A and B are shown apart, each in its own frame.
Chain A
Amino acid sequence: MSPPLPPRRKADPLALPRQALMPQGGRSRAALGLAAMAAQGRFALQICAACGAAQYPPRDVCHECLGTELPWRDVPTGAALLGETTVHLSGDTYFRVRTPWRTGLVALDCGPSAVAHVHPDVAPAGRARMSLRLDRSGQGVLLALPERDSPNMMDDPMIREMTCDPRGRRILVTDGRSAFGQEAARSLLAAGAAQVFLGIADGWKPFKGQDNLPGDAVQLDLTDATSVSELAAEFGGRIDIVVNTALHIRPGGPLDRRDLVSAREEMEVAYFGPLRLAQALGPTLRARAADGPYGACAWVNIHGIDALAPAPGFALTAAAQAAGLSLSQSLRTSLAPIRVLTAFVGPLEDEWHQAIPPPKVTPTALAAAIVRGLREGLEEITVGDIAMDVMRRWRDNPSTLARERAG
C-alpha cells in the first residue's frame, strides 16, 4: 500500500524551487478528445459507429472496418495489467525529476491495449480500474488504479500530479460576502485544507454570516486593482489553490436597462476581476506549481450556465459569464501547469433568482461539487439539474440551444 502523504514541510528559503515543467503536451486532434473526457471525469474512448470497435490510441479511422465516424462513448473501466516498467531514467525534463515512475501496458476490457500510468497499489499482472486524468500539461492520460480504493490511494505522488486535492493546501476563496463563498471555505476546510483565506470586499458594508466566517478573512475586492495587488503581495506566495467564488448575477436583457452601469458591474466581477487576480497571482502560482506534493495546483472559476447561451431575463449576465468563460479557457494555457477548473452552475438559491422555479443550486451543493472536482483533478464540472440539462443540449447542438433558450 502506498504511504500516506508526508506532512507539509517548510520550504528551504535558500533553495531554488523545482521548476514547473510539464510533460509533453502536443497531441493529435483525435487525442485531444482524451483531455475533453478527462476534464469531465469520464472514462470514454472512441467507439466506431459502424462496427462498435473501441479504438486506442485515438485515431481518425476505425482499425476494424475503416469507418470514420468515431464518437466518444463511456466504456467499462476494467483492465488487466499485462506488463509494466518502473522508469528510473528519463530524458524528459518533467519525468526525470519524478522517477521512479510506474507505467505499463494494460488490456482494456473494452478491447484495445493501452500504455498507462500505473498506481503503485495495482498488483503486478493484476486487475486494474482505469481512469482518464489530466496530467500537468492538461492532456488526457490513462491512469490504472487498484480495482478497489486502497488506503492512501490519493496520496501517491503520481496521482497528486494529476489531481488538485485541497488536503494540506492553502486556498484563497475570493468572495466571502456570499453564502456560496462562505460555504466553499467551510467545505474546503472540512476537506483538509491547511488554510483558507476568505476575501472580503467592502468590509464596511454588513453581510450575512460576517460574525461566523470560516477561515481567515482578508481584504479583497476583485473590482479594485489596488486591493488585488495588495493581496497578491501579502499572500501570493502562500496560495496553492484559488477558488473564485465571485458571482454577480442580475436580471435584465439588453433593452431592459437604459445604461451600462449594471452590465459593466457584471463584467467587472465576471471578467475584469478574475483577469486582474490572474495577472496578480498567476506568475507566483505557476512558479510554485512543482513545489512538491503541496505545490500550487488549481484555479477554480464559477460560470453561470448562461455562459453557453443566454437565458431570457438574464441576457446581460450571460454576456459577462461568456466573457468570463472565454477567460477561463485562455487561462488554461496561460496558467499551465496550474489546472483551471470551470464550474458551470444553474440558477442559485438566492435573492436574484426568486422568479426562477426550482430546482436551484444551494451554496452547499455548489461548494461540495467544487471540492469533488478538485479532488478528482477535473477541469469542468456542471452543477445542478438545470445546468446539466443546458449542458447536454449544448453538447448536442449549440445553435439549437441558443434558439431554444431564447424561448
Chain B
Amino acid sequence: MSRRAAYDGVVAAVPITIPYERYSIQTAHWWIGRALAETISRAGIRKRDIDGLCVSSFTLGPDTAVGLTQHLGMSPRWLDHIPMGGATGVVALRRAARAVQAGDADIVACVAGDTNGPDSFRALVAGFSRFAADATYPYGAAGPNGSFAILTDAYMRRYGATREDFGRICVAQRQNALSFPHALMKRKLTMEEYLAARMVSSPVALFDCVMPCAGAEAFLVMRDDTAASLGLASARVLSTIERHNAFPEDPIQLRGGWAQDMPELYAMAGITPAGIDLLQTYDDYPVIVMMQFEDLGFCAKGEGPDFVRSHDLTLAGDFPHNTSGGQLSVGQAGAAGGYLGMTEALRQITGAPLGPQVANARTALVSGFGMINYDRGLCSGAAILQAA
C-alpha cells in the first residue's frame, strides 16, 4: 500500500541520558554540550566525525541549532532544529534517517536538552504559543495540567475511565523507575497514595503530573556499516509515522494522530501490535498514554481502561511499558522528554539497559506527542525499531 521507501541500511545507536536535575543553574547549551561529549566518547569518534546535527530545546533561546554550531565548534553539513516537544525524538529519528540514507550526512547526532529554573516552567507555559497566550493561559493559568485535566475529564465521561485506571499507569511506571538509576522519583507509589494525592487541576492530581527538570538526551543515526565498523550495538528503523493537527474537526481531543497513521506504521514495519516487545509512550499525563494504547492498536478506542486493568505494565509484566519509569517518574527535561522513550527503547533492544533488561526485547515501538498549542496536542509520531 505504501510507496514510501524503507529505511534500509540505517540504524540508531549510542543512546545517552544525562542524569536529570530538578533545578539547574546551567544553560541548555551546557546540557546539550554534555550530551554530545558523552555521545562522542561512548561512540569512540571525534567531534568532527559528526557531520549532521539535529537539536531540540525550549530554553536555548535566543539561539537555535545554528548558533549552537558555533558555540560547540562544529561544522555539520546537515542541520535541523525540531520544535515539536514530546514528538521530537521520533521526528528527529525520521529526519536523520533519511539524511543518512540519502548520503546528506554520515553520522547525525540527535540531541535534546533543556535547563530548568524555579520559574522556568511557568514562564514557558505563559508564552508557549500565540493561541495559548491568547486563549488558554488567561483561563486559570494551569498550563498543561489544566489542558490535560479537561481532556481527562472528557475521556472519563466518554469512556468510563476512573482515576484508578490512570493510577495503574502511574503506579506501574513508578515501579519501573525504582530500578532506573536516573529517575528523580525514587519512592514507591501505592494506589492509595495515588488516589489520595492532592488535586492539582481536577481530575488531574499530583501523581498524574510530570515534574519539570533539567536534563539532556541524545542518540546517533548512521549507516549500519558505519555502526559495525565502530563496533556499536544498534537498532534498525522499521517504520515511522508523523502527523500534525490531526482530526481538527474533533471538538475535543479523544484521539491522536496515530489513529490516522497506525495502519501505515505497521504495514511498513511488516508486523502487528502483537510483534511489539516493549512500548514507550509519551506520558506527560496518563490519559494520553491510554489514548496511545488505543490509537496505536493495542486495544480498540475506548478500551484503554479495560486494557490497563488486564495488563501488567511493569518491566517484568506482560506488557512492558515506559520501562525507565517514563517522564512521570524520571522527570520531564523539556524537549529531552520527547527523547526519553527513544533512548530507553534503544538501550533495551540493544541489550544495554541502565536498569533491568526486559526479557526477549527485540522490537520496540516508541511514540511521541507534543505541543499543546491551544486545546490539544498537535504533533504525534511513532517509530518501530528492531535490534540490528
Contacts and interface: CB of A to CB of B under 8 A. Distances in A.
Direct contact of A and B (CB under 8 A): yes
Interface in A179-212: none
B252 A107 contact: yes
Contact of A84 (B133, B134, B150): B150
Interface in B132-180: 133-143, 145-146, 149-155, 157
A73 to B, nearest CB: 18
Interface string B345-368: 000000000000000000000000
B230 interface: no
Interface of B: 121-122, 125-127, 130-131, 133-143, 145-146, 149-155, 157, 198-204, 248, 251-252, 374-375
Interface stretch (A85-93, A312-320, A360-368): A85-93
A139 B204 CA distance: 28
B153 A85 contact: yes
A141 interface: yes
A125 B157 contact: yes
Interface core residue of A31, A103, A113 (most chain B CB under 10 Å): A103
14 contacts: A56-B135, A82-B154, A83-B151, A83-B252, A85-B150, A86-B199, A87-B142, A87-B146, A88-B198, A92-B137, A92-B141, A94-B141, A116-B139, A124-B157
A207 B334 CA distance: 70
B134 A107 contact: no
Contacts of B248: 63
A104 B374 contact: no
Contacts, number: 125
Nearest to A117: B139
A86 B130 CA distance: 23
Contact of A103 (B130, B140, B155, B199): B140
Contacts of B155: 83
A52 interface: no
Contacts of B141: 23-24, 87, 90-92, 94-95
A317 B369 CA distance: 61
A114 interface: yes
A87 B146 CA distance: 7
B200 A31 contact: no
Interface residues of A, number: 41
Nearest to B203: A85
B255 to A, nearest CB: 14
A26 B149 CA distance: 24
A91 B153 contact: no
Given A23-B138, A27-B133, A82-B251, A89 B143 contact: no
A221 interface: no
Interface core residue of B149, B155, B157 (most chain A CB under 10 Å): B149
A307 interface: no
Contacts of B200: 88-89
Given A82-B252, A113-B252, A105 B375 contact: yes
A84 B127 CA distance: 22
A104 B139 CA distance: 9
A117 B125 CA distance: 18
Nearest to A63: B248
Given A56-B135, A57-B134, A57-B374, A24 B126 contact: yes
Given A57-B374, A92-B141, A113-B375, A103 B151 contact: no
A135 interface: yes
B123 to A, nearest CB: 9
Contacts of A113: 251-252, 375
A334 interface: no
Nearest to B136: A115
A28 interface: yes
Contacts of B143: 91
A290 to B, nearest CB: 16
A26 B150 contact: no
A103 B252 CA distance: 14
Contacts of B137: 24, 92
B202 A107 contact: no
A58 interface: yes
Interface in A12-71: 23-24, 26-28, 30-31, 56-58, 63
A31 B153 contact: no
A219 interface: no
Given A83-B155, A91-B143, 19 more contacts: A24-B138, A24-B141, A28-B130, A58-B134, A82-B154, A83-B152, A83-B252, A85-B142, A86-B199, A87-B201, A89-B199, A90-B140, A113-B251, A114-B135, A115-B136, A115-B139, A115-B374, A115-B375, A124-B157
Contact of B138 (A30, A83, A141): A141
B150 A86 contact: no
B140 A95 contact: yes
A116 B138 CA distance: 9
A138 B318 CA distance: 55
When A and B form their complex, which 5 residue pairs have the shortest distance between CB atoms, in order from nearest?
A83-B154, A92-B141, A85-B149, A57-B135, A31-B134
Contacts of B204: 85
A124 B150 CA distance: 12
A99 to B, nearest CB: 8
Interface core residue of B140, B145, B198, B252 (most chain A CB under 10 Å): B140
Contact of B153 (A24, A83, A89): A83
A267 to B, nearest CB: 38
A299 interface: no
B116 to A, nearest CB: 13
Contacts of B202: 85-86, 88
A30 B133 CA distance: 12
A331 B131 CA distance: 28
